[in-house]
Structure 1
């Protein structure tokens, strides 16, 4: 396969404003070479085996030399790799993209430009400042304030609206240049720092007052908007997304986190994924293999998780069987996610209990369970036994077989741990009892303590959100509380409950 370099704009640094094309490329990347000002959550989108290289180009700080970056792009492309060169904003706006394109062309490397949303356009919009207005601004100019002495300030001073990138370090020079070229000292100015993030700050003033207002503050990264349109700051009064300014820690198996992250991000949240489960094959396939060999003898197949579905059908395929063996077997599943996963194998369940919970499977089973032979592929250890006991009470002949293992990672994710220590987490979500148990174990190990007081102190003022009753029970046992529980025991239901909870203020 021929290598290719994708020069991708990541937008303003917030994953919510990433283009779909960029999302898809990241999910398939073999090598990721990225700049500073890129949201760390984007790094979670790449495959586990992707090589990630930080070239950290940031003004005023040590960074990788451009010729070294060019070498990396050419080297990995020449090896046949799919390389994503992730740049902040739009790569063609003050992104030094020409140097990289020229190097790729000279090396005969395939490349593609993928646009991103420039902060020059997004930051004013998200702050509610229109860049054009029929009375106040017939045009605007985007410029860099990195080297103000090279600019034609006589001309710039006559333009209705100025949008300045990389200008905060030279703010005083910029202000003086404009005033000396007859721009009014009372001209409105806005400085938008960390646009689109929970650290966003907006400073509003005039050319006459702004220097004193921000004196002593570290403003980078920021966008400067100068012009009468600053006084028209109205669009930001529209209803914010309900989970805006919330950072949510998701505790799930890593390969299962992205869908839930997307649901939460669509409601404005910033998400950090903390793998609290490792999903692995069972210690032995013997029991499952024997069940598959005698599949035609079963009346029902019960599947209670997407993991159970995937491991069962993958093993079926590995043994050279196909789904036609299930032709005379009825299938019961617990949960929307499980049903959706089953449909990927072109099968529709015969029964789904109400409220998507296993406890109601017995009460609502569509036929008598007495003497029914039931195959139940499940987690090897640590699963709930109540379903099996209830089926046995109904005189069903239930055959349990291990289809996968669910274990605890060796250590806590570094980004999640840093965020917890720095009190940056507003909400922690738990989608199973086992994620609560493993989360607690990981905190014990990270803190090197068994003291419950020390562990719970990390969670002060953090909302603990549970997907359902059994998960809530484990939260109470280990964490002494749960703040909200989904009424519909699905990821969609948990998202809905979070939205309602925080909409109530």
Structure 2
């Protein structure tokens, strides 16, 4: 069999800027040999049985020798494998791909070059800086800031716009060289660090003051733009949350619908696993209830987790939705209702405002002598609903359907972002996430609440807000509609009002 190597660029960092061609090839890769990529989510697109080999290749840090990488590409290609060699940006712009092309060519291995969006173009664009302009930017040059001694600074100083990759460590030398060859100290400069990512930062200044602005700041990886076009910067206003870094607390095992809503509005989103969802300590109670479903009048489900664990257990016991014949279903929350509909069932009742507090007041029939099954979290759930139902004459059978716990350690990325005060807004969609968040931040600070200074604390509803007040001392924003969409809208209104 003859294999093939795809020398591929992954784009400037964020997963959104991966090309369609790259996505298709990644989904069929048998071997993935990759650099220290900016967005690790890209690796999730390869098949589960794909061999993944991390070869580093991040400037200034330990990495695999180029000769070893060349040999890996040849070896797996000759074994008949589809090999993806994944680099950040575009592979032919300071991607050091030529030695790999040469080695593959000399070994008679088939290869294909797959372009990626280079950060040299993406970074200024995403910062609203036009690289060209009919008056102030008729040409631009792109160069690396690694080897400043070999560059023709006299020629570079005459070019209207300069784009510099890998120049963070040599910024002082670059400024000195340009000024020595006639560039004005008032020349505008922009530095864009971690282009397109949630940790993106931008500094604007002049050659005279930019060093003071970035003193003691790591500028790697960054793109530097020098020229009058920097002053033409206009940011798009169709993304109201652009420039806001929002921490979303969520269950570790769940993909975040909320994160997607925020990303669509331009936010930088950091997800924090604050809950671990797992099976209950015993299935006995739920199994007994499922075996006697025909004795219940109502089934109440108050979370998407409750829905999933209930129906998974139903299937495990050899039953399906037909076992619910004659049992009405009430759900709390849009997400709970949506999860139930995925199982082909329309709920009989959803309380107004989507909260449990209004379930009893608006229940569609009298609760006297009604028998209700309530599959719920094993520990730490709210007792108010059960108390209200019981006071109104219902018999409530509570059974453990799942358990939620606190992760052992705080996510490293989240810890760094909190300590460096990079987060603008922290969102909470349940009391448990507030409790676990407070427990986790105590691991990284003796004064955990100091990490939240100048950070907006946003809550999905009254009960979550109450826990925020108890543990964090305040709540700055509460959604009017107690849903993820409602919380997103509330955040947008807050930012627009500033």
TM-score normalized by the length of structure 1: 0.78
Change (3 A) 1:230 1:258: same
Deviates more, 1:73-82 or 1:425-434: 73-82
Counterpart for residue 202 of structure 1: 204
CA contact (8 A) 2:33 2:52 kept: yes
Measure the CA separation in 2 of the matches of 1:63 and 1:351. Answer: 58
Choose the corresponding residue for 1:492, options 485, 491, 497: 485
1:340 aligns with 2:333: no
Contact kept in structure 1, 2:309 and 2:402, CA below 8 Å? yes
Structure 1 residue 276 displacement after superposition: 1.9
Task: Summarize the alignment of residues 91-106 of structure 1 with structure 2, pairs less than 5 Å apart.
Answer: 91-97=91-97, 99=99
Cα offset, 1:487, TM superposition: 1.2
Structure 2 equivalent of residue 293 of structure 1 = 291
Q: What CA deviation, in whole Å up to 9, does each residue of 1:407-454 have, x standing for no partner?
A: 12222223222333333333222211111222223334555x7xxxx3
Secondary structure of 2:254's partner?
Answer: helix
Q: Does residue 470 of structure 1 match 2:472?
A: no
| Alpha carbons of structure 1 residues 26 and 243: separation in structure 2 relative to 1, 3 Å | farther
* Superimposed CA distance per residue, residues 50-72 of structure 1 (whole angstroms, 9 cap, x where no aligned partner): 99876442334443323445677
Q: Displacement, 1:21?
A: 8.2
Whether the aligned pair in 1 keeps the contact of 2:479 and 2:490 (CA below 8 Å) is: yes
Whether 1:480 and 2:473 are equivalent positions in the alignment is yes
Query: Matched residues in 2 for 1:282 and 1:99: separation?
Result: 55
- Per-residue CA deviation, residues 94-118 of structure 1 (Å, 9 max, x unaligned), is 2234555777899999999775432
Partners in 2 of 1:235 and 1:345 — Cα distance? 47
String of CA shifts for 1:375-434, please: whole Å, max 9, x gaps. Answer: 211111211111112112222232221100111222222322233333333322221111
Contact 2:161 2:227 survives alignment (8 Å): yes
- Equivalent of 1:316, from 314, 321, 327? 314
User: What residue in structure 1 maps to residue 274 of structure 2?
Assistant: 276
Distance (Å, rounded) in 2 between the aligned partners of 1:493 and 1:122: 32
Identify if the C-alpha distance between structure 1 residues 6 and 457 changes in structure 2 by more than 3 Å, giving closer, same or farther: farther
Deviations, residues 331-359 of structure 1 (Å, cap 9, x unaligned): 21110111111121122212111111011
**Distance 1:436-1:178 versus aligned 2 partners, 3 A rule:** closer
CA contact (8 A) 2:298 2:330 kept: yes
Greater alpha carbon shift after TM alignment, 162-171 vs 466-475:
162-171
Runs of at least 5 residues in structure 2 that lack an aligned partner in the other structure: none
1:455 matched to 2:448? The reply is yes
Gaps of 5+ in 1: none
* 1:312 Cα deviation from its structure 2 partner: 0.6
CA distance in 2, matches of 1:476, 1:368: 35
Query: Could you say what secondary structure the match of 2:470 adopts?
Result: helix
- Aligned 1:247-396 pairs, distance under 5 A: 247-256=245-254, 258-396=256-394
Going from structure 1 to structure 2, the CA distance change for 1:109 and 1:12 (only over 3 Å counts) comes to: same
Contact 2:430 2:464 in 1 (8 A): yes
1: distance between equivalents of 2:292 and 2:369? 17
State the TM-score, normalizing by the size of structure 2. Answer: 0.79
Query: C-alpha separation between the residues in 1 aligned to 2:123 and 2:441?
Result: 37
**How far apart, in 2, do the equivalents of 1:23 and 1:138 lie?**
35
Cross-structure match for 2:420: 422
Distance 1:351 1:170, change over 3 A: closer
Matched position secondary structure for 1:264:
helix
Looking at structure 2, the residues matched to 438 and 30 of structure 1 have their Cα atoms a distance apart, in angstroms, of: 40
Displacement of 1:488: 1.3
227 and 146 in structure 1: CA distance in 2 versus 1, 3 angstrom threshold: same
Q: 1:76 to 1:149 in 2, by over 3 A?
A: same
Please state how far the C-alpha of 1:305 moved relative to its aligned partner. 0.1
Cα distance between partner residues in 2 of 1:98 and 1:16 = 27
- Give yes or no for contact 2:189–2:210 (8 Å, CA) kept in 1: no
Equivalent in the alignment of 1:439:
437
Matched residues in 2 for 1:248 and 1:45: separation?
25
2:476 is aligned with 1:501 = no
Instruction: Give a deviation string over 1:265-304, Cα, whole Å, max 9, x none.
Output: 3333333322221111111111111221222332222110
Contact 1:128 1:234 in 2 (8 A): yes
Residues in 2 aligned to 1:302 and 1:6: alpha-carbon distance in whole angstroms:
53
Change (3 A) 1:339 1:115: farther
Do 1:153 and 1:178's aligned partners in 2 also have CA atoms closer than 8 Å?
A: no
CA contact (8 A) 1:148 1:170 kept: no
Change (3 A) 1:298 1:457: same
Aligned to 1:235: 234
Are the structure 2 counterparts of residues 249 and 177 from structure 1 closer, same or farther at C-alpha, using a change threshold of 3 Å?
closer
**Shift in Å at residue 459 of structure 1?**
2.5
C-alpha separation in 1, matches of 2:205 and 2:362: 60
Could you report, residue by residue, the CA deviation over 1:194-220 in whole angstroms, capped at 9, with x for unpaired residues? Answer: 144542113456xxx799999988755
Counterpart CA distance in 2 for 1:12 and 1:22 is 13
**Counterpart residue number, 1:87:** 87
Instruction: Tell me the distance in 2 between the aligned counterparts of 1:274 and 1:255.
Output: 11
